[in-house]
Amino acid sequence: MTKTAKVIGKNNDLSRRIDIPARTARDEIYELTTTFNRMISGLEDSSNRERQFSSDVSHELRTPIAVIKAESEFALKYGRTEADLREGLTHILEQAKFMTNLVSQLLDVARLEKCTRSKLCACQCIIDVIQYGPRLYKTLYRKYR
C-alpha cells in the first residue's frame, strides 16, 4: 500500500490505485485503502476537468482573437476611408465584447465549481479521517509497538 502511494505521489500518476486483494477483511486498513482510492479518483477527475476546461477556453478564445488580428491588419493595410476603418473597428469591438462575455462566464463557472467541489471534497476527507483515523491508529499501534 505504501509503495503504491509513493509511486502515485512521485510520478503524479492519478490513474493508479492501491490494489485491494479479493479476500481482504473489511477492517480499518481496507477502509483506509478504499478512502485513499476514492480520494485519488476525485483528484484525477478534477485534474481531467481542469485540463478540458483549459482546452475549451483556448479554443473558444482563438477565433475572436484571430478576427481581431485580421480586422486590424486589414484596416491598417487597406482602410482608405473612414467608413472602412469604422467597419473594421466595429467588428473588433463585437469580438472584444464576445471575449469579455465568454471570460466572465468561464470565471463564473470556475468559481462555482471550485466552491462546491472543494467544500464537498474537503468535507468528505475530514469525515473519513475522523471516522477511520482512530481505529486505524489503534490497529497500527498494536501491530507495530
pLDDT computed for residue 129 by the predictor:
54
- Predicted confidence at residue 130, as pLDDT, reads 57
* Contacts of residue 4, Cβ cutoff 8 Å, sequence gap at least 6: 16, 17, 18, 19
Average pLDDT, the chain: 78
Residue 144 confidence (pLDDT) above 80 = no
Looking at the whole model, is its pTM more than 0.75?
Answer: no
Cell of 85: 476603418
Q: Tell me the C-alpha to C-alpha distance, in Å, between residue 72 and each of 59, 97, 145.
A: 21, 16, 74
Give the model confidence (pLDDT) of 35-52 as tens digits: 889 998 998 998 888 888
d(CA 90, CA 93): 5
Q: Which of 94-98, 107-111, 124-128 is predicted least confidently?
A: 124-128
> How much of the chain is in helix, strand and coil states, percent to nearest 5?
85, 0, 15
- pLDDT tens, 100-117? 888 887 777 777 666 555
Give pLDDT tens digits for 52-87.
Answer: 877 888 888 888 889 889 988 988 888 889 998 888
